[in-house]
Chain A
Amino acid sequence: MSALLTWTSALPVLIILSSLIPGLLIFATPEHARTRRTVLNLTGIVVKLILVGLMLRGVSQGLEFRFELNFLPLAPLVLHGDALSLQFITLSSILWLATTIYAIGYLEGSPLRSRFFGYFSLCVSATVGLALAGNLVTFLLFYELLTLSTFPLVVHRGTPAALRAGRVYLAYTLGGGALLLMGIALLHALIATPDFVPGGYLLQHIDNYSLGFQVAFVLMIAGLGVKAALIPLHSWLPQAMVAPAPVSALLHAVAVVKAGAFGIIRVVYDVYGVEASTLLSLTQPLLWLAAATMIYASVRALQQQDIKRRLAFSTVSQVSYITLGVALAGPVAAVGAIVHLVHQGLMKVTLFFCAGNFAETLGIHKVQEMDGLGKRMPWTMAAFSVGALGMIGVPPIAGFISKMYLGMGALEVDQPWVVLVLAGSALLNAAYFLPLLYRGWFGKPPAKGWKEDNFYGQRFETHWMLLIPALFTAVLSILVGVFAGSIFSPLGWSELIVSREFVQ
């Protein structure tokens, strides 16, 4: 307990509390106290950003941030801020800022906003806790809390359709959580639960527990695969589209999906280690699974008529890029995977914000209804195009860089067929994104006007709180792409992580 005294051990806890405490306070604020709720939200975000900045500076100077609380015998609760977790935290904090502003605008005047924002901040604190987790048991703890805090968001509207989607979501995520628990318990039974060690800590036990490790790996990947939306376990994601736009943005760009991917990165790099996983021949099947997910999801995206469902399937395929990069088990591919975690987050959030704007302002849900959108909402359409092009991999937007690194990584570990898959997937991305852009910019607006036309004739094309976040993340994904070379860009930071990962 004495570890609490030094500020380096207190910082991780403070980061989690910085979103937990405002969340609990928001639960208590009555529905009409709109300003107090917004103030609480914003202070929470600002404090978290400051703390994350502090930790960023500390980690780059090589400080050690570690907090420990005994929980299970040989498996204490450990919060450890290392380079990988920091990247994920910075991503989630920034996107939490954008999504909160967007949500305040989006939910203007709708009921139960205290409950929504309460669970919203609980969800973010679970994500941050998950990122900071120092060993598998702490990871499991925050993984399950993430499920519990996101379920009320998915069923926020309370309609029968939302409840059905919520039940499917719960069935998958709780099932996944149970599998993950089994995997972690199996590992704990074999070799207890030490902290995450860059390069993995299973190598020396590999000869006497190889079967146990393989089964544990399959269980854990299955458990994490539910949230990372790998092939057989992905169908909850499109159905969760029934939730309000900020929730789908949060789920698909910041919290749930990324938690799954982040978990896979942790398990492969910091538990098994690249060497052990190749020895146990685990990476190859994972590679095939990721590739299959990429192609299958892109094809399914083509068939979707609803914009948000199309974006959902595109997320399923994009996240499997990360799994692909991890499964390639090469340093360059690893950089590609880790940087794609950030890039995909930025681009996908922009796309969801824009989809939300279209639905909220002009009541557009289907792809056919997007004709002539560029004239009525030029700024949102521009942000949408930036996101879409980034997804396809057009330079200088962020998507291009991660795909390039993934391709080079694949060549480095001489898996040429992966480059083909990447190219194919890029083509499919283009196939399902370009028609939207074409309709938006070159299509004729509907003769008898839009279905609904809110915010017409105001200074901005839609509510300013909906527009600003979309533009902010679009600009960010461009900047990240352009200044990829600098140290402070996600690419630079990923190279720092990978350099520590593959140093030995």
Chain B
Amino acid sequence: MSAMQLYTIVGAAIFLLALHGLLMTTDSIRRLIAVNLMGAGTFLIMIALAARISPPDPVLHALVVTGLVVAISATALALRLITSAAIAQHSQDSENKGDGDLSEDVKP
């Protein structure tokens, strides 16, 4: 059981745990954290694979760097979307409580 094998298994465990978390939780922030954990799991597996040779495989490292940047930009967008959705929902609820539900479909 070498260190790389251990970390590959741990990476897979985190991936599955995060997937399980994604399916179980309903709160958007927690689901986003789950997605980030999945990303971390995948990157851990990739780096464990890279560490199989003495100077670690530069291609895999480059892939992980690219993956990281994708992760941060997507997370930033997702968080902003979630907060704006929550604020919109919040103002919508208060507005609805104000004057009843505006039925948006067929005119009376």
Q: Per the CB under 8 Å rule, do A and B touch in the complex? A: no
Chain A residues engaging chain B, CB cutoff 8 angstroms: none
Chain B residues engaging chain A, CB cutoff 8 angstroms: none
